[in-house]
Amino acid sequence: MSAEKESGKTAGQEYTIKFIPSQGGDTRTIRISGSILKYGIASLLAGALLFVGAFSYAVYSTMANKSGSAEIEDLRQVNAIQQEQLLQLAKKANALQEDMNQLKKLEEDIRRLSGAQPVQDNNSGNGDKQGEAGNHNGQGGPINKPTVQNVSDTLSLVEQGLAIRRQSLTALKEELSQRQQALGLPGISLPGGTTPAIWPARGVVSSPYGLRWNGSDFHPGIDIANDMGTPIIATADGVVRVAGWNDGGYGNMVDIDHGNGIMTRYGHAMQVAVVAGQQVHRGQVIAYMGSTGFSTGPHVHYEVRINGQAVNPSAYLH
């Protein structure tokens, strides 16, 4: 193959390309003007540049997609680990909360059996404080999604509450032990007996047995007044016949059958701690002082009945 350069006065530069077979044959000739050759070369260069750019972009896109996929997979793995950590922490927190609830119930049972004051809710006001703060219940604050850190903090608070509850139970046991030693008693309850022989609660007699209010009313028992929640105890061994609400003005009431026709009644309780049919012993807490039914303030209405007839309880108070 050979190329020859020719010139003409009017046609300008031309390029001749000849194709000569190696083993003979016809020779072929192609003539190309200089301008067409320049455009051809320029087109080849532009095409080459476009190809190189497209290839480079394809390689970059492929690498970027691979890198993005790897980052997404890493994020998914990290998120899965955090979710598992949150789940385990939440389970542990719930278990600790359940333990604390059981300890709280145990403490309440011990207080009920021992005659100690019931636990007061720190979130509820009383007296003047109730009037000042009890009517305000505003709440607010930002809402955040749970994280490992704040769930861990919550878990720490639950553990602290559990420790405080254990300390409270330990102190209560010590208190009971000191009471028993002071009274010389082997157990929580006072010595048994089916005849009423002790006061049903601590307090002052606010209304005695008999006529009152200038003779306009007969009072079949005595009223002993004290703070709300003061323990009320059985004055003798017996079986609970009534434990609950009474529509006759007694409010929350407990009746105990002591046998031999002897029955005692305890009215206006805030809370009853026994059930009908339950065997109780002298000194056992059966209710907590309140002001339910026909009442003007916290007290216990105490009656002693012989064969259904109310008698003066003063003979049975020692």
> For the residues of 159-216, what is the DSSP string, one character each?
HHHHHHHHHHHHHHHHHHHHHHHHHT-SSSSPPP-SS--S-SSSSEEEE-SEEETTTT
Q: What is the DSSP letter of 122?
A: T
What is residue 189's predicted lDDT score, i.e. its pLDDT? Answer: 43
pLDDT in tens, 63-79: 777 777 777 877 777 77
What is residue 196's predicted lDDT score, i.e. its pLDDT? Answer: 92
CA dihedral 35, 39, 41, 47 (to 10 degrees): 180
Residue 225 has a CB neighbour count (10 Å cut-off) of 18
Q: How far apart are CA 192 and CA 259, in angstroms?
A: 14
Of 231, 223, 230, the closest CA to residue 206 belongs to: 223
What is residue 144's predicted lDDT score, i.e. its pLDDT? Answer: 52
Range in 6-15, 189-198, 213-222 the model is least confident about: 6-15
What is residue 162's predicted lDDT score, i.e. its pLDDT? Answer: 73
Does residue 285 carry a pLDDT above 70?
A: yes
- What is the percentage of the chain residues whose pLDDT exceeds 90? 30
What is residue 288's predicted lDDT score, i.e. its pLDDT? Answer: 95
Q: How far apart are CA 85 and CA 90, in angstroms?
A: 9
pLDDT in tens, 94-122: 777 767 776 776 676 566 545 555 555 44
Residue 317 has a CB neighbour count (10 Å cut-off) of 17
Does residue 281 carry a pLDDT above 80?
A: yes
